[in-house]
Amino acid sequence: VMAVVALALEAALFVVLVLAVLAVLEALGGPDAFDKSGSSGGAVKEDCAVAEQTSTGDAAKAETGKKRRRFSGHNRLRQIRKMAQKIVNLGLIVTSALMMWKTLMVVTNSESPVVVVLSGSMEPGFYRGDILFLWNRGASFRVGEIILFKNEGHSVPIVHRVVKIHEKHDGSVDLLTKGDNNEDDDRGLYPPGQRWLNEKFIVGRAVGYLPYVGYVTLVMNDYPLFKYLLIGALGVVSVNREKQ
């Protein structure tokens, strides 16, 4: 329930932020349109004044300078509006992605509903770069299921298969896991003295996967230069699209 409330509050704050930014953009656009309409009428009057005062060259130059400064101000204001719109669009994309991720977390009851396989310990079932979809609701865990669990001393969660279940007197269960491509079970990965994995460390069970789709993530982690080149290419495409 608290997760749902937090998600609703974040959505409300997001809507308020978007409305505030749109109001600022509209305020920036108002003076621009007003000045444009005013400048058109003012330009006629100024032209008439210059026509009537043909003998005064300095006055004509002054009026021309005012027009140029006014046009320069309009141009700067338009640039500010374009930049603000770009920032808003980027914020919308990032915020939408975060909201989708939060929604998946609430629906699946998992802090990491989508993960990428980083090692070959589960081959041939899963290979590096496969994307796994996790679910952490419903029935108890069973032997043969593939789970993602956190482990003290390891910053990266581990994806392995349940090979044994130890049921306690209070009804709770502990699990023993093992990688399909490993010879030994995971007791060597657990903290010293721990022979079973408690359910509280489980992030979720694998309910589906997409082969090799997450390999781009592995390449960017293994080769940071590729990540920077990709970001640069996206920037060039964005600039060219803006010019068009």
Catalytic-role residue among 32, 74, 96, 160: 160
Please indicate whether residue 186 is annotated as part of the active site. yes
Please indicate whether residue 160 is annotated as part of the active site. yes
Question: Are 109 and 136 within 8 A, CB to CB?
Answer: yes
Catalytic-role residue among 32, 74, 119, 121: 121
Catalytic-role residue among 72, 180, 186, 222: 186
Q: Which residues are catalytic?
A: 121, 160, 186
